[in-house]
Structure formats: structure tokens, C-alpha cells
Structure 1
Amino acid sequence: MGQNLVVRLKEKGYKNLLVIDKHAHNLAILSTMHPDVSTITADLAEPGTWIESLQGCACLIMLQARITGKTREAFIHDTIDSTRAVLGAVHKWQIPYIVHISSSVVVSAADDDYTQTKKDQEKMVVESGIKYCVLRPTLMFGWFDPKHLGWLARFMEKTPVFPIPGDGRFMRQPLYNKDFCEMIIHCMEQQPEATVYDIVGDQKIDYIDIIRAIKKVKRLKTLIIKLPMWFFALLMRIYALFSKYPPFTVDQLKALTAGDDFKGIDTEKQFGIKQTPFEQAIDETYNDKRYAKVSLQRTGIGK
């Protein structure tokens, strides 16, 4: 998300940008593409010089969270502890405004470590006494995505067979991160106070149709097969034994099949931003000559 946001901010003429991330490899990619942007490699949950770097900040956009992981402690550290430290720095330097990126999971049927810590994180921001707005996006996709649809697309390129849990008829409301960045910037500029926006992709699409759309725009020959839910879950458990950051956990499988139907604001009416049609957005994501081939490393951290 941060990589996309930098692109949009620069296109709009913003300068004096600072990006803080603890993943050195991905931050180095950003620095290569945008040498004019200041970067600091730091763990926001730990004390460091990053705190001093926020002095004079005009607006802070909070994107950090643990998305996947094997232990609750990892979620606490990367979501809760980091937020406590960031809010402390905001108070110290009297930063006037925060745009906090929460998640639709805080109003979903899901109940896992990611959901619980995102709820707690949002509550910390709301109760901080700092002027803020909160955006709750649904599943996002677009350039630079090392997880979610990005990982699925790369996996599809490498395998002749792509497994689908059950019948694949799990309704999703994917949100194009290009559109979402425009909404973040709108809030940064207009600074609505103590406001929470549920941001939902305005097209409802079944999971299997998302996979088919990716296959189509990438012109792949991959065979899509449907697996019984229990067998798919078993494969995920086995995969997690060997992967530090499993791309698809059993908890995420439960969330996928939870049947959420999110209700969001009219983004065109609220922000003046008409969402990009899904097929056009997928084509831009995987066929753009500038950024489609830029590959970030997968981590459990979202920035």
C-alpha cells in the first residue's frame, strides 16, 4: 500500500515525503524507484531515531499491521506495540492529523489474531485524543502486492494446476489500491475529524471469478481445479509447517468463507472518486509497463 501511495502522492506534486518500514529489501526497492523520497529502516515497535524524524510532520498516514503469522505475539508486536509507539511520537511532536488505515475485518464475521488486533489498533487511534479519520478498506489488489491476489497471480504463473477451495463461490468485494490511494489523499487534504469510512469495492465478484480474471489478463494456461474444503484446509496446514509467512492460512480460509457482505459509503459521492471497473483494474495491475513486474518480498507485515 505504501509503495502505491508514494506513486500517487508524487504524481500530485507532493514533496518532502518520509517512509518508515522495517523491511529493508522492500524499502530499498522504493528508494531505487523514488530516490527523492526519504526512507528509514526501523521497527516501529522499538525505540529509535525514527521517533525524532517525525518532528515537524504535517500529516501521518498509518499503514502498519501484521497481516499473517503463526503466533499471536507477532500480531501484538507489529500491530499493537507499534501503534502505541507511533501515537506516543505523534503526541510528542504534536502532529496535527492522522489518516489511519484500518480494515473491513473490524466489522466482519472473522475472529482471528489479525481481526482482533486490527480492532484494538483502531480503538487506540480513536481514543488517542489526536485529530484523525479512519478508513476501513476491503480486500485490496494492485501494483506491488506480494500477498493476496499478487501472490496468487505469481503462483498461477508457476504451476500447471491452481487449486480452489470448495466451489469457489465466495463473494468478494475487491478494492483497487489506485482508487484507495486517491481516497487516502482526499482525507489527508480535507482532514475530516473523528470520521470512520467503510471503503468497499463496488463490484461483488466470486473468488473463482477473480482467479479466472487474473488467468485471462495474464494469458495463462493454468488448469483451475476445485478441491473439497477439508482437503484444501489440510494442504494449508501442511504448507504452514514449512513457510514462515504462509500465503493462505486456515484462518484466512475461514474468513474467505464467512459470507461477509460489507456495506460501504458511496465513494464517488463522498470523495469524488469513481472506482475503476474490476477488469480494467486487473489489466492495469498485471500489464502496466512501469510497475507490473516490480516484485516485493513477502512478509507478514503490511505497510
Structure 2
Amino acid sequence: MKPPPFTYHAPRDLPAALRTLAEAGGKVLAGGQSLIPMLNMRLAAPEHLVDINRVAGLDGIEATPAGVTVGALARHADVERAEVHPLLTRALKLVAHPVIRNRGTVVGSLVHADPAAELPAVLAVLGGSVRVARWDGRVVVREVPAEEFFVGPMESAVGPGELAVSAFFPALGEGAGIAFEEVARRHGDYALAGVCAVVTPDGARVACIGVGARPVVVDLDMDLYQNPDEGSGGGSARALDGDGASDAGGRRRAAAALVQDATAPEGDIHASAAYRRHLVGVLAERALRNAAREGAAARGA
């Protein structure tokens, strides 16, 4: 299949790219791993295509104690190899296949806003943000927090004439453990459901994919750190408030139930809504257990 006709633009700097978007509109081409198939299948038919691959300064990967800033042209594979953020690195290994990661971009995946994709969940669970630029006689930049960036399925807060220029992934807190668990029909396929978890001594936060119109984020203020390897047969760990579950396994099951209750999956030809809801509960319990183990090991507990 071939894409519909369009006018091609290849600006050389950011102001030129933003002026083109402001005047002509159209779609932005960075990695193209989502856009090109959509064009070929005639699911998208923009009159203008703005290729930003020649724009200098958008491929940076900058790590600081506060977190990691990833530029709009930083490829999945480059960020994965840089190993600048443990959770981001782990999630990138789950994205499609190496040939896709060699070309696809981290920021492009965020803007694409697929509710079954891994990277939106990472940004959401970390409470990150995306910098969006537009042209108003000069370059104007705004910062959009993750909770406002994902508007709906395949829809982000990047408006007409705007360009997402970078994404910020906050650093993990001291003693944090992480996990990303998902189930897909085949390796490299989009997940039927997935759970990204960050567990700290103060509680846990998870983001779920494939079970809502955007990443589903759930904050859990229970102690999942104490005795993370303890089974479900009792123990001396602190009780979950109001639940009576005094063992680590009981706390994880209670947490998984809270995560399930926050999701609203839909069925399709790949899985029913009931199966996805069951799956997210299983994955949430597994992710919380593995993240708690990792965090306890890092602390020498």
C-alpha cells in the first residue's frame, strides 16, 4: 500500500519546524514507526508532513540527579543502551523488536499515546512531563505533566501547530524497587495487559496498560516493602489498615484488588474484558512482589 499524497517539509532548525507547523499544520515525522504504517493503511491522510530528523539539538539524552531528559529524536535503542534510568531501560526492552527500536523515538511513542504501549506508563508512574513548543513570533515552550498529557486513546495534549521537543523522567527515590510485567500473544506484540510498579518504603505506585483509554495510575499507601518474600501463610509484618491482612502475600493481594477496581478494560478479538481484568490483577501482584524484592535487596534488607 502507498500513502496518500502530501507536501513534504524538511526544516533544519526548531524555529523553522515550528513555523511550518503553525502555517501549514500536518503530521510530524520523527521515527515514523507508527505514522508510516498509518499513512500506508490510509488511517491518516495529512496534507503536510514535517520531517524533523534534520533539526539539530533534538536527539539529546541528559541525565541529572533529578532525572533524565530525552529529546524528540532520541531513538529507543539509544536510550536503552545509555541505561540512564532503570525503569525506562526495562520498559524499552519490551517495546516491539530491535529493528523498530533502532528507528522509533521515545517522545514519539509518548505523543502517539497508545494505551497499550509501555512508555506512556513509565512517564505516568514516575510523574514525568513533556515539553511542548509552538511558534508565536518566537519559540514558546510549555511543560505538560503526565497526568494531563494523555488525553485519551491515541490522543495527547500536543495541539495543532505544536511539537513535543523532550520528555522528562524523574529519578527513582532512594531504596525504590521497580518491575514491569506484561502478557502479549507473541513477543513484540502490544500487551494484552501490563503493570509497571515502583515500590518504596513509603508505599507503591503502579501504572497499567491495555486496560483503559490511557495509562491507569494507582497509588498504594500500604507497606509492601516489609518481608517482601513472605508467603501468604501468616507472619509478623505490619497489617494493612482496615483489611486485617497481616502477611506480605495478603497485602499484595489486597493491593492487586485495588488496582483491578481502578481499571475499565474493554474486550476485543484478542481478549475479553473479564480476562484483561483478571490478568491485570495477576500482573499487579507479581509486579509489586518483584519490585519489593528488588528494593529490599538494594537496601540490603
Q: Which has the higher strand share?
A: 2
> Higher helix fraction: Structure 1 or Structure 2?
1
Band of TM-score, shorter chain: under 0.3
Instruction: Return the index of the structure with the highest Cα Rg.
Output: 2
Higher RCO (CA < 8 A, seq sep 6+): 1
TM-score of the two chains, using structure 1 as the length reference: 0.28
